[in-house]
Amino acid sequence: MTTLQHELTVTGDHTALPQIADFVEAACEQCCVDPCARFDIQLAVEEACCNIIEHAYSSAGGRLHLRFEVKGPDVEVTLHDSGQPFDPAAIPTPDLERPLEERPIGGLGLHLMRQLMDEVSFDFAGDAGNTLAMVKRNAVRQPAPGRPPCPSRPAECADV
């Protein structure tokens, strides 16, 4: 199985969000990610990055490393930071049945990531930092029989 990988390291602040969005868009385009899966990946990554910037770094700043990998038909996006640790078990499941005006502001980010992606996992390695991995299964378009690979797909992607 062919694996494609793209990496980006940015400052962990809101000014990096456009660069992150461009990175994800370009990686999806180059790797021929299905448009519906592309939307889910982009939104999940943006939400994850906003959460890291907002909660892991607060005003302290730091670095945020993104890795976008295509493994066969699947896409895995990994985010690594050295900010405050995060325990997803401490986040209550949002009550989506509750009227909107009675809900607290925020608190839907983790829920959104889990709804958009097929796998979401967290790893906390103390001083080594925090890692969030998200997988979208069957995200890469395969050309129809007898059709050439996606025109934006480079030759080295043809076997993916």
Q: CA torsion 87→89→94→95, rounded to 10°?
A: -160
Give the bridge partners for 74, in sequence order: 71
pLDDT score of 148: 53
Distance CA 24, CA 7 (A): 10
What residue type is assigned to position 64 of the chain? L
Q: Closest by alpha carbon to 9, among 107, 115, 81, 73?
A: 81
Residue 27 CB partners (closer than 8 Å, separation 6+): 6, 33, 68
pTM for the structure as a whole: 0.82
Assess contact for 7 and 23: CB atoms under 8 A. no
What residue type is assigned to position 47 of the chain? E
Percent of the chain with pLDDT over 90: 56
Give the bridge partners for 134, in sequence order: 77, 120
Distance CA 111, CA 76 (A): 18
Residues 111-160 have pLDDT tens digits of 999 999 999 999 988 888 999 999 999 999 875 565 555 544 444 444 43
Question: Residue 12: phi, psi to the nearest 5?
Answer: -85, 60
pLDDT at residue 55 is higher than 50: yes
Distance CA 11, CA 28 (A): 22
Residues 59-88 have pLDDT tens digits of 677 999 999 999 999 999 999 999 988 877
Q: Which domains does the chain have, with CATH numbers?
A: 3-85+104-146 (3.30.565.10)
b/e code 36-55 from CB counts within 10 Å (16+ = b): ebbebbbbbbbbbbebbbbe
